[in-house]
């Protein structure tokens, strides 16, 4: 049994995907009678697929069932990723560095088909011991469910897991689960100052995410209130 582990988020941490999600959701919304207010993408960041598809149906007025909305967005995103996977600079190297030291988990709000496609196209699938979509737990981020379940499947206590997150809801989810939290703030949709204060470590980029940083995380006291 491992004594510690590292859990990555996917969107905005390993893949520069928030703008792609935004484009795919906006296209589905506007082509099926819905609206697209400026805050829509930020509101949906961290939601599970069941949550954001319901939000698009109920709040944005998209004239499709939530299941159809989710399938339509995923199909569009899969096509975009197969054309060109927008891996963030340093993502593959960061995963490899940490996988050499600790078991890795993935706690993502993305749909399961998107998670599997990204890991396949990037060649990173063998590096992760556990991968989980928030659609596979009762509540999406900012609830702690997805992090707690990944830690359980890794057989590592949450407080001995280091999470790598980029968004407000992701940071809140990881902190609520009791993990140590490293923030690599999303540049397109930066986290709030209140959420960023929950991080034990704030990095400018994945190139800074080293085994030494993770060891420092495990020694850190929780920041914030």
Judge residue 76's burial from the number of C-beta atoms within 10 Å of its C-beta, 0-12 exposed, 13-18 middle, 19 or more buried: middle
Residues 104 and 185 in one domain: yes
Q: What does the pLDDT look like over 138-177, one tens digit per residue?
A: 999 999 999 999 999 999 999 999 999 999 999 999 999 9
Residue 212 known to be catalytic: no
Q: What does the pLDDT look like over 84-130, one tens digit per residue?
A: 999 999 999 999 999 999 999 999 999 999 999 999 999 999 999 99
Residues 148 and 176 in one domain: yes
**Which one is catalytic: 11, 145, 166, 200?**
11
Task: Please report whether residue 225 resides in a domain.
Answer: no
Task: Please report whether residue 55 resides in a domain.
Answer: yes
CATH number reported for the structural domain that contains residue 73 in this entry: 1.10.150.240
**Which one is catalytic: 9, 145, 166, 200?**
9
Q: What is the DSSP letter of 162?
A: E
112, two tokens: 């399961």
Helix (H, G, I), strand (E, B) or coil at 46: coil
Q: Is the Cβ–Cβ distance between 141 and 148 less than 8 Å?
A: no
Among 58, 83, 108, the domain boundary falls at 83
Judge residue 1's burial from the number of C-beta atoms within 10 Å of its C-beta, 0-12 exposed, 13-18 middle, 19 or more buried: exposed
Number of domains in the chain: 2
The answer, yes or no, to whether residue 219 has pLDDT greater than 60, is: yes
**Over the Cα atoms of the chain, what is R_g?**
17
Residue 58 known to be catalytic: no
């Amino acid at each position: 049994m491992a004594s510690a582990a590292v859990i990555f988020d996917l969107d905005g941490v390993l893949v520069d995907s928030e703008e792609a999600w935004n484009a795919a959701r906006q296209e589905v919304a506007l082509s099926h009678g819905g609206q697209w207010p400026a805050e829509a993408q930020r509101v949906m960041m961290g939601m599970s697929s069941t949550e954001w598809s319901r939000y698009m149906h109920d709040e944005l007025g998209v004239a499709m069932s939530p299941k159809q909305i989710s399938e339509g967005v995923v199909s569009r995103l899969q096509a975009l990723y197969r054309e060109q996977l927008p891996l963030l600079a340093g993502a593959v190297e960061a995963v490899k560095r940490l996988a050499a030291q600790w078991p890795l988990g993935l706690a993502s709000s993305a749909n399961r088909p998107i998670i599997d496609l990204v890991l396949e196209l990037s060649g990173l699938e063998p590096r992760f011991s556990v991968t989980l979509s928030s659609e596979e737990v009762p509540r999406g981020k900012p609830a702690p469910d997805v992090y707690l379940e990944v830690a359980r499947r890794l057989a590592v206590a949450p407080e001995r897991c280091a999470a790598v997150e980029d968004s407000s809801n992701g940071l809140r989810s990881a902190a609520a689960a009791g993990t140590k939290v490293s923030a690599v703030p999303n540049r397109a949709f930066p986290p709030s100052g209140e959420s960023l204060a929950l991080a034990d470590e704030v990095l400018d980029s994945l190139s800074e995410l080293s085994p030494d940083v993770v060891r420092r995380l495990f020694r850190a006291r929780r920041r914030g209130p």
